[in-house]
Structure 1
Amino acid sequence: MANDPLNLDESAEWAGLWWLPDDPDEQVPGVLRYEPEDGLVLSLIGALEDRIMSNPFPGVVAVHEGHRMWDVIHGVAEQREITLLACVPNSSKRTFGARVKSPDRQTVSARTALVGAHVSGEDDAGFSAAEVSVEDLGLWAASSVFEGFLGAPNGKPDGSGRISVKPSEVQSVLVDGTEFCLSHRHTLPFFDQRKGETVGRMRDTAFVRIVPTDPFSLTGALGAASLVQDLISLATHRAAGVIWLRLQLAEADSAARSDRPSLRRSADVLYTPSVLGKHDAKAVDHHRVFFTCASFPFEEVVPRWCEAHGRLQVAINMIMGLRYAPARYVENKLLTAVGAAEVLHRGLGIDERPMPADEFKPMREAMLTHVPEDHRERFKGAIRNDPTLRDRLYALAARPYGEAVGLLMPDVDRWARRTTQARNDLAHKGRTPHHSIEELIAVVEVTTAVVILNVLHELGLPPERQREIVQEHPQLRATARSAREWLVVSGTDS
């Protein structure tokens, strides 16, 4: 459909006129091309001024080495305004003094394009709403506009049936003044006449609409899209790519007539998200999903996710990084997983100091009296009343539902000790001589699972569902098997 959002995994191009915002009269023709893997490239027939020049004396222009970069380029193409952000000239071919004069040529790469709006920059608060589609959002939403019926008189299919469409009710919730809506958009029936067959089609797209109290900028909209993306990634336990992102302009269409209301204009965002969504790819198997809106209603999970994401953002980012951009080497994964566990423990605000503060402080002062004054400040910083890594791991294992943790790993003490030794060996020695690769993999996977179970616990996922996840999810079942093989005390252990 003509009004469909622009999918980030599809190529597109626009031929139009382009200019710098501070020089709108100098317009240059060119073609903007978008490729999912290569990003945005503007090919100009002519050139925007990219030379760095100065006027050291009246009437004298000095041209310096290097090229200008532009925060913003504006354009119009195919009856739409376009804004390019973070623009860098790749090449410029000028024809000064050439025997045959011909147009200059220039190519420019851009980080982001807004197709449908002119803005002054990434922080221009010109948008009243954002709509985002993420991989497997429809599966997570556990709702659809479609219903299918098969004819089966007397219990035997007779080849008849029908597919019906019933608009799905919008689910919405208000979080700190921002409205989150789970919506569906579907196409009308379409019959594709082929030479050998006829194909009937309709399409249902689930998306989340975010409406803040006050207009927000592109930067704010990208943050909101990332919030939704991370939630779906957590729920599906995999990297969930952004399929499309559309923004609604804060100002209504000025061409409104008395016989129709004013229209809200929209702008499609072309950028490179942490993971690029594939809109035609097959959905993840439902057995690999931690929770959906059927078991954890949209109105409940979104407020809890917003609160937890804000409070535990660093830990969540680290553990999501293992999904979005997995490291190639187990040592990198070890540092990330254990680091996420430490950061999560701090973010949860668990106060488990080994000693009461009123006992520790005089004890430390007494010890420091025996340290030479030149080294006292250094020793003071080393003597801290903080829990060790092992203490933090024990505390994290104790927070989720106990039966779920027991199913994940039968020996919490062994996991905490071996994880601590592996991290310390790698951090202090640069290698892990006491662990096999298989055991390191088990340490990484179990630690990652403990962090995820803690995040799910913070969201309020019921204990029974936590247990079912460990029992039924294929990857967590494999993690539990690995823990039973590598993270239990054997007869040869001392």
Structure 2
Amino acid sequence: MANDPLNLDEPDEWAGLWWLPNEPDYQVPGVLRYVPKDGLVLSLIGTFEDRIMTTHAPGVVSIHEGLQTWDVIHGAAEQREITLLGCVPSASTRTYGARVKTPDKQTVLATMAIIGAHVDSEDKAAFSAVEVSVEDLGNWAASSVFEGFLNAPDGILDGSATISVKPLETQSVEVDGTEFRLAHRHTLPFFDQRRGGTVGRMRDTAFARIAPPDAFSLSDAMGSASLVQDLIALATHRAAGVIWLRLELVQEGSASSADRPAPRRNADVLYSPSAVGKHDAKAADHHRVFFTCASLPFEEVIPRWFEAYGRLQSAMNMILGLRYAPARYVESNLLTAVGAAEVLHRGLGIDEPPIPADEFKPMREAMLAHVPEEHRERLKGALRNDPTLRDRLYALAARPDQEAISMLMPDVDRWARRTTLARNDLAHEGETPKHSIEELIAVVDVTTAVVILNLLHELGVPAERQREIIREHPQLRSTARSAREWLVAR
């Protein structure tokens, strides 16, 4: 459909005129092409001045090394306004002195495109809402506008059936003045006549809509999209690519009447997210999904996620990084998983000093009194009243449902000790000679699972569901087997 959002996994192009915002009268024809694996490329017939020059006097100009870049380029193509952001010239061809005069050419790479609006920068508050579709969002939503019926009079299928569409009520919740909606968009029936038969099609797309109380910028919109993307990645335990991202522009002026509101103006965003969603790829198997809106309702999970996302984002980024871009070497994954556990422990606010502060301070002063003056400052920095890594691991293992933890690993003490030893050996000596590769893999997987169980616990995933995840999720079930083999005292 003409008004459908632009999918990030589909190529497209726009032929039109392009100009720099500070020189709107100098317009250059060209074609903008978007290819998912290559990004955005603007091919101009003509050039913007990309040389860095200094004018010393009339007719006296110095040309310096390097090229200019442009924060913004505006365009008008295919009856749409277009904004290109983060623009860098990659090639320019000029024909000075050529025997046959032909137009100059220039190729410009852009980081991001807004198809449908002109904005001055990523930070301009020009939008009122953002809509985003992410892989497996419909699976996580646990709802669909479609219903199917097979006719079976007298209990015998007669070959007739129907598929019906029943629009769903949009789920919504408000958090700190920002409205979050879980909505569906569906197409009308379409019959595709093929030589070998006819295919009937309809499509139901689940998407999230975020509308803050005030106008917000593209940067803010990208942050909101990441919030949804990371929630689905956590819930499905795999990378969740962005399928499309659409912005609603702030309505300026008053072009509406009381009985006819002004139509919404939308703009599509093309960019390279951490993962590009494949809109026709098969959805995640339900056994691999940690929780859905059926087990943790939308209006409950969004406020909890909104609060936890800011507080625990560093730990979540690290643990989700193992899903988006796992390292090839187990040592790198070890540092990431254990680092996520440490950061999570700090973010949870349970970072209690092992020795009461009123006792530790005089103890430290008494010890420093026996240290020569020239070494005192160095030793003072080393005497810290912080929990050890082992303390942090014990504390994290104590937070989720304890039956789920015991199903994951029967020997918490062994896991905490072997994880601490592996991290310390790697960080201080550059190798882990006391661990086999199999044991290191078990350490990484169990530590990752402990972090995930803590995040699910923070979101309010019930204890019984935590146990089901360990029993039923293929990857965590395998992790539990590895823990019983490699992380049990013998």
After TM superposition, is the score higher than 0.5? yes
The CA deviation at 1:460 is 1.1
State the Cα distance separating 1:356 from its structure 2 match: 1.2
TM-aligned CA deviation for residue 431 of structure 1: 0.3
Which residue is 1:189 aligned to? Answer: 189
Question: Could you report, residue by residue, the CA deviation over 1:119-161 in whole angstroms, capped at 9, with x for unpaired residues?
Answer: 0011011000000000000010011100000111222211111
Q: Identity over the aligned pairs, expressed in percent?
A: 78
Q: What is the CA-CA distance between 1:463 and the residue it aligns to?
A: 0.8
* Separation in 1, partners of 2:269, 2:345: 36
- Show CA shifts across 1:177-204 (max 9, x none): 1000000000111111222211111110
- Describe the superposition over 1:46-93 as per-residue Cα deviations: whole angstroms up to 9, x where unpaired: 111111111122442222221100000000000000000000000000
Give the equivalent residue in structure 2 for 1:205: 205
Quote the Cα distance in structure 2 between the aligned partners of 1:358 and 1:255. 67
Q: CA deviation at 1:348?
A: 0.7
1:178-234 residue CA offsets vs partner (Å, 9 max, x unmatched): 000000000111111222211111110000000001111110000000000000001
Aligned to 1:105: 105
Q: Which residue does the alignment assign to 1:443?
A: 443
Question: SS state of the match for residue 476, structure 1?
Answer: helix
Number of aligned residue pairs: give it: 490
Q: Supply the distance in 2 between the matched residues of 1:150 and 1:452 (Cα, whole angstroms).
A: 41
For 1:477, the equivalent position in structure 2 comes to 477
Give the aligned partner of residue 142 of structure 1.
142
- For structure 1, which segment, 327-336 or 344-353, has the greater mean C-alpha deviation from structure 2 after superposition? 344-353
Q: Distance in 1 between matches of 2:168 and 2:406?
A: 40
Judge which range, 344-353 or 67-76, deviates more: 344-353
Uncovered stretches (5+) of structure 1, i.e. residues with no partner = none
- State the distance in 2 between where 1:361 and 1:85 align: 53
Q: Distance in 2 between matches of 1:224 and 1:85?
A: 19
| 2:172 aligned with 1:167 | no
Match in the other structure for 2:56: 56
Ranges in structure 2 where 5+ consecutive residues have no aligned partner: none
Q: Deviations over 1:92-126 (max 9, x none)?
A: 00011212111000000000000000000110110
In structure 2, distance between residues paired with 1:156 and 1:368? 88
Q: In structure 2, the residue corresponding to 1:24 is in which secondary structure?
A: coil
Instruction: Give the 3-state SS of the residue equivalent to 2:25 in structure 1.
Output: strand
> What amino acid sits opposite 2:365 in the alignment?
E
Q: How do 1:13-52 residues align onto structure 2 when only pairs under 5 Å count? A: 13-52=13-52
Conservation of the 8 A alpha-carbon contact between 1:39 and 1:111: yes
TM normalised by structure 1 equals: 0.97
- Map of 1:250 onto structure 2: 250
CA contact (8 A) 1:253 1:262 kept: no
| 1:368-394, Cα deviation, whole Å (9 max, x unpaired) | 011111111110110111110001000
Name the Cα RMSD after superposition. Answer: 1.2
Displacement of 1:259 after TM fit?
A: 7.8
Q: What is the Cα deviation at residue 360 of structure 1? A: 1.0
2:6 corresponding residue in structure 1: 6
Distance in 1 of aligned mates of 2:67 and 2:265: 35
Q: Does the 8 Å CA contact 2:345/2:351 hold for their aligned counterparts?
A: no
Aligned partner letter, 2:290: F
1:351 offset after TM fit, Å? 3.7
Measure, in 1, the Cα distance between the counterparts of 2:298 and 2:428.
Answer: 45
Change (3 A) 1:244 1:104: same
Query: Which residue in the other structure is 1:302 paired with?
Result: 302
Paired with 1:281 and 1:362, the residues of 2 have a C-alpha distance of 63
With 131-140 and 193-202 compared, the bigger mean Cα shift is at 193-202
Which letter does structure 1 place at the counterpart of 2:347? G
Q: CA deviation at 1:257?
A: 7.8
2:168 is matched by which residue type in structure 1? S
Asked if 2 retains the 8 angstrom alpha-carbon contact of 1:50 and 1:69, the reply is: yes
Q: Shift in Å at residue 253 of structure 1? A: 8.5
Offset at residue 359 of structure 1 (A): 1.2
